[in-house]
Amino acid sequence: MARVTIEDVTIEDVPNEDVPNGAHRPPREGNRQVNNRPPSVLGLALQLAGPATAGALAERLWPETVAALSERLRVPESAVETLTAWEEQGLWRAATDDVGEFLLRAAATGDPEIARVLYVERHRRVPEFLSAILAAADPTDPRWYAAGGLVPAVLENPGGLELEPALHGPFPELVEHAVLHLGRDLPLPVVLDACLHLARLAGAPAIGNLAKSIEATADELAHPGLAELLRSAAAAPDPGAFLQERRPAGEWTDPAHAHALLRVRMEERDVEQPAGLGWELILREHDRRPFGGKRVPSENRHANPLVRLVGWEGCPDELIGECLPDSSWAVLRAGARMPFEEVARMWTGKGPDGRIVRHGVLTGHLDRVLGELTPARDVLDALPYDHEPTREAVAALVAPLGADPVNWLTFYARMGRTDGTAPELIADAASAGSPKKRTTTWPRPLEAVFPVTAPGDSRAVFLNVLQCAPEAAQIAVVPHLDARAVQHFLVYGDPAPAVREALVATHGVPALASYASSRKLPDATLEYLLDLDEPAVDANLFAHCHIDQRERERMLAGRLRGGGTRSEVPGELLDALDEVNLGHYRHWLIAGLESGDLGVARKIVGRLRFAMPAARLRLLTAVWERGGPDAVREILAMDRLPVTLRRQTEKLLDAPDGLERLRDRLAAEEDPAKLLGHPPSRLVGDGVPLPWAALVEAQRTGRLPDHLPAALAELADCPREMRLAALRSTPPAHPRGFYDRGNWVWRTLASGALTPEDLLAHAAPAQSALHHLVEAVTKAPATDRLALRAQVTALTDAHLGGNAEAWAVCLQLLPTFAGTLTELISTAGAVARV
């Protein structure tokens, strides 16, 4: 048989007469160089090669196959052959199938050796594995009982959910062991089912022995009379029939019901309520052996399985009541309805915790929460205002305030000083005859803050409550809000159009300016504010909101969204330029480089230092074109530009063709040949357009430095040809196998600028390309994955086909191959045919 050596790509003849066709070669030592690649590479090769070729490929790379499968299956290398020999095409299945499904199928073969590897050695002691093993086991095989075998291992298990399948397995010893360790947690009908199964397996002696063992326990497994019942069954002519007659009919017949109950007893998390399990049976189990709560001694209440049940639909109030007050928070987290008295006790004892009010409201106590809990402000603050019944209840609550602004202002002023309930607060605020002073203006008014901060305390409560009131009441209150409340209402209140119009009509441009102060404004709101073409609004949008760079360029050029251009950029926008953080947002000022507005140019020159002469000339040219030579003189007089540039420009100011000569100098500085000598980041940082045509041509002719395509590839306007060229130097994988999503390949894939198909055809070296390709495919939609799989399969079929030597050569070349994956596959096929 031909075999590819690991040291080179030579194909040598190795006799293989002693290995039958399709048999596994015995494990042997060998060079592991191929295993230096990521473990998934060999599995990917086996998958693409197909089942017919995978076996032969594994033969040629047996040590590497064993190592890769050992790591994938998480078993010792010595166990790989055991786990794969039972199934036709087992190696291919082990490399390509879901690991859990493959191992479960292996466990279901009934092979004692596989059971030993998975259950005993690798500790895969979950119910599914033991159930699969026992379902296929032949109890007459002595290997089950040998030292290190399954039966001794299970007998050492002190109990737990993983022991449940043994109740109905083929081994009498394990059935008895499971009954003794799980019987206390199971209903009597389920225990009798297991005893009936034991009687069928081993007859009366086994039942008699089990009776003795149960009698020796302290409480007969919490089933009084069970030992006597089993003794009677053992003495009966037919123990099975005896037990069957005494099993309560129709109870606990669904295995899912007993399994769920056992999980509850074991305090498993997130136990779903099984369909069809009635509460009557659960209550009887609780009477037999309490799940927890008040029936359990106080020293044992740290373990309370009962709280796993209270979240189930229809849980009786008596069970919930038994969890209270010791497990009130667990009941609350489970979402179970608890008596209002307990909600009130928790609220009073814990203090204002919004979770308590929200739970009470959402579990049916809305009216009593609003009407009885205090203090009013904390209760109103905790309400779930996204809950429509709550909004309706609050609207009814504040109805006495009507559309009288004084009532609403009094309500706001007094809410932080009352200890009463919400209805008492509302009644007090709405009472014109109250001896307390009524409030006619906003107390302690505050200006808007930039950027906006979320409301808190009484302001938050007032805003939420006001939003529940009718529009007429909101519009009536609007004129009396302070600037901060107006800002909060606009940004966080999402007012109806009529209310927003009233806010703007009353509070004017300052209200709109404060509206434009949040980084998280919806797109529709941004469009509304941008369309206003209002200087103060634009200034805040520029400074505080996420707007497109083109919008910043438009603002700094003075162009209006509604058409036309301002004679000069407003002072509000100029002031905003003073506050820009240059460490993060330098490009915000660069947006005004070609504005030509004198005020904008003065701000830019005053704050920025340009590395590129072209940037300075671009600014000066724009200023001259818009403001004439006198505007350029003002910029030069700032003494912020290089002396040589100032002198050269000053000579042009009085010349008839001065502007044309300045443009010529700009064109000379922006000559592509000159710009190619500068790092792209410097050009972009100074707002100089990249000479893409020249860069692409330089790349074609080999004049572009090797590192440059990668630096250019993630720029938004990078041509596709340049990105494909950048793939020729694909960054390598992380040395520890992690995927670095900060590299440019990931970012361009995520944006759609590159596709997995591009990686296949253009990325190099091959190993790095494969690393990125696998990551890209795992993130792609299913249809795209199938299409790419078809493309790769067609490529490998064409060049490698069923030739195992060609596949082995491909894997051998991969770590050091400098070309693309397509070139690698083609080369491997050619080498194998030599």
The residue type at 12 = E
* Mean pLDDT taken over the chain: 87
**How far is the C-alpha of 466 from the C-alpha of 445, rounded, in Å?**
18
Is residue 254's pLDDT more than 80?
A: yes
**How far is the C-alpha of 458 from the C-alpha of 416, rounded, in Å?**
7
* Alpha carbon 797 to its chain's center: 37
| 195 and 227 Cβ atoms separated by less than 8 Å | no
DSSP-assigned letters across all residues of 583-639:
HHHHHHHHTTTTT--HHHHHHHHHH---S-HHHHHHHHHHHHHHHHHHHHHHHHHT-
**How far is the C-alpha of 437 from the C-alpha of 647, rounded, in Å?**
73
Q: What percent of the chain has pLDDT over 90?
A: 60
Is residue 10's pLDDT more than 70?
A: no
Bond prior to 170 in cis (omega within 30° of 0): no
Q: Which residues of 363-376 are buried (b: 16+ CB within 10 A; e: fewer)?
A: eebbeebbebbbbb
- pLDDT (average), residues 224-245: 95
What angle do helix axes 405-415 and 422-430 make, rounded to 10 degrees?
A: 140
Sign of CA dihedral 408, 410, 416, 419: negative
| Other C-beta atoms lying within 10 Å of the C-beta of residue 558 | 21
Least confident range of 228-232, 352-356, 508-512, 681-685: 352-356
Q: Which residue has the tokens 């206003």?
A: 532
Q: Which residue has the tokens 């109030």?
A: 317
The DSSP output letter for 732 is: P
Is residue 679's pLDDT more than 90?
A: no
| 171 and 142 Cβ atoms separated by less than 8 Å | no
**How far is the C-alpha of 791 from the C-alpha of 498, rounded, in Å?**
58
pLDDT grade, residue 61 (50/70/90)? confident
Is residue 495's pLDDT more than 50?
A: yes
Question: What 3-state class would DSSP assign to 155?
Answer: helix
Least confident range of 120-129, 324-333, 397-406, 689-698: 120-129
What angle do helix axes 804-813 and 51-60 make, rounded to 10 degrees?
A: 60
Q: pTM surpassing 0.75?
A: yes
The residue type at 789 = R
- pLDDT (average), residues 384-400: 96
3-state secondary structure 764-826: CCHHHHHHHHHHHHHHCCHHHHHHHHHHHHHHHHHHCCCCHHHHHHHHHHHHHCCCCHHHHHH
Q: Which residue has the higher pLDDT, 79 or 38?
A: 79
**How far is the C-alpha of 383 from the C-alpha of 393, rounded, in Å?**
11
Start-to-end Cα distance in the chain: 16
- pLDDT (average), residues 672-680: 86
Residues 6+ apart with CB under 8 A from 608: 582, 586, 589, 590
Is residue 190's pLDDT more than 50?
A: yes
What pLDDT is recorded for position 293? 66
Q: Which residues of 473-484 are buried (b: 16+ CB within 10 A; e: fewer)?
A: bbbbbbebbbbb
Q: β-pairing, 2-4 with 11-13?
A: antiparallel
Express each pLDDT in 704-729 by its tens digit. Answer: 888 888 888 888 889 999 999 988 88
**How far is the C-alpha of 595 from the C-alpha of 622, rounded, in Å?**
6
Residues 6+ apart with CB under 8 A from 621: 659, 662, 663, 666
Express each pLDDT in 581-600 by its tens digit. Answer: 999 999 999 999 999 999 99
- pLDDT (average), residues 26-55: 58
- pLDDT (average), residues 41-70: 81
Containing 3, the helix (H) or strand (E) segment is: strand 2-4
Neighbour-count burial of 761, counting CB atoms closer than 10 A to its CB (0-12 exposed, 13-18 middle, 19+ buried)? middle
What pLDDT is recorded for position 372? 95
Least confident range of 315-329, 408-422, 561-575: 315-329
What pLDDT is recorded for position 741? 47
Residues 6+ apart with CB under 8 A from 275: 256
**How far is the C-alpha of 492 from the C-alpha of 459, rounded, in Å?**
12
What pLDDT is recorded for position 224? 95
**How far is the C-alpha of 314 from the C-alpha of 324, rounded, in Å?**
17
Q: Which residues of 672-686 are buried (b: 16+ CB within 10 A; e: fewer)?
A: eeebbeeebeebebb
Sign of CA dihedral 345, 350, 353, 356: negative
**How far is the C-alpha of 598 from the C-alpha of 606, rounded, in Å?**
12
Is residue 229's pLDDT more than 50?
A: yes
What pLDDT is recorded for position 295? 59
What pLDDT is recorded for position 350? 66
Give me the count of residues in the chain.
834
Q: Which residue has the tokens 């919004």?
A: 354
What pLDDT is recorded for position 707? 81
Containing 49, the helix (H) or strand (E) segment is: helix 39-49
Express each pLDDT in 535-546 by its tens digit. Answer: 999 999 999 999
| 618 and 687 Cβ atoms separated by less than 8 Å | yes
Express each pLDDT in 354-378 by its tens digit. Answer: 899 999 999 999 999 999 999 999 9
Dihedral pair phi/psi, residue 333, rounded to 5°: -65, -30
| Other C-beta atoms lying within 10 Å of the C-beta of residue 431 | 14
Express each pLDDT in 496-510 by its tens digit. Answer: 999 999 999 999 999
**How far is the C-alpha of 403 from the C-alpha of 211, rounded, in Å?**
80
Torsion (CA) 521, 524, 526, 530 in degrees, nearest 10: -170
